[in-house]
Amino acid sequence: MESRRAIKTAIGKIILIGEHAVVYGEPSIAIPFPGVSIKTTICETIGPVILECYYYRGRLSDSPKAVLGLKKVIEGVTESFNEKLENFSIHIASTIPPARGMGSSAAVAISTIRALYEFFNRTLTENELLKWAHESEKVVHGSPSGIDAAVVGGERPLYYRKGMPFVPFKINLDAYLVVGDTGREGQTREAVEGVRQFIESKPDEGMELIKELGNLTRLARKSIEDKDAEKLGKAMFKAHIILDKLGVSNDKLNFLVSKALDCGALGAKLTGGGRGGCMIALADDRKKANYISQCLLSSGAKNTWINRLGDDLVGS
């Protein structure tokens, strides 16, 4: 008799614009990014649950703090089914670099939740998916907004303001997004704290910059709706300049943003928490996107990914 097996996936995400300002009530835009993904494979075995992932390989019960959020989800979902936490193994393969602002932790949780539901032959609703993913994100991030899980789980662009419902909207822009990895882990907590200190020490200037970021996010949404890639690119770069003033960028991010612009990008900026992680650049066609990608790689980017910013956000 063939042993049970379940394979499920989840994609990454990118904050297009609005990071950090969202903490202070301004809007942000996050989009799914299928250029990177997670694949979770669950196989029937005999004995204790074995977990194999980027950070750890061994018994789930002995797993380290780095995978505590994932461990909580695996235990919680299995227990909710009244199933025993034994006789299966979980293998997680990823093309999403961790700690780069691309939704790695949310995607790992979501692909694993999907696989657990299939393995145990249960029906998974979107509400249950987001509920379990949020449990994992709370362990990983402390007080998550939920936007990572919502974008990764729903696989649709979202416009978000703190305390307000997520607003899905369509992107039908004839343009490409290039993501460049600095090779350094982002420092989200430190960056958030740095912005808070900046605002405390210079409240008028700090809040003016935050307000300007919010206005740029609104402009970016209108540019997307108007299918105006050039205007979107300008908004992105202006946002980067402000984020740099707030102390969120660093020399490597600034260098790669500058290189992308020199190579013909319509706009470029850091994405996510900052002080490491990734930057993004907007190109008006695939050929230009490939050229920008090569420019970034030859300028020290550890890796690059390209995805079309079309209606379905599917790479081509």
Helix (H, G, I), strand (E, B) or coil at 8: strand
71: closest CA among 45, 51, 55, 87?
Answer: 51
The active-site residue, picked from 148, 181, 226, 262, is: 148
Query: Position 17: which residue type?
Result: I
Query: Position 307: which residue type?
Result: N
Other CB atoms within 10 A of residue 41 CB: 19
> What is the DSSP secondary structure assignment for residue 4, as one 8-state letter?
P
Tokens 């997307």 sit at which residue?
224
Residue 152 to residue 242: CA distance in whole angstroms: 27
Q: Angle, to 10 degrees, between the axis of helix 68-80 and the axis of helix 126-141?
A: 150
166-169 long-range CB contacts below 8 Å, 24 or more apart?
169/221, 169/224, 169/225
311 is catalytic: no
Other CB atoms within 10 A of residue 254 CB: 15
In a 10 Å sphere around its CB, with 0-12 CB exposed, 13-18 middle and 19+ buried, how is residue 162 labelled?
middle
Residue 293 to residue 263: CA distance in whole angstroms: 9
Question: Which residues lie across from 177 on neighbouring strands?
Answer: 282, 307
Helix (H, G, I), strand (E, B) or coil at 227: coil
Question: Which residues lie across from 93 on neighbouring strands?
Answer: 39
Q: What contacts 110, CB < 8 A, 6 or more positions away?
A: 10, 38, 129, 133, 149, 152, 153
Q: What are phi and psi of 184, to 5 degrees?
A: -115, 140
Residues labelled catalytic: 148
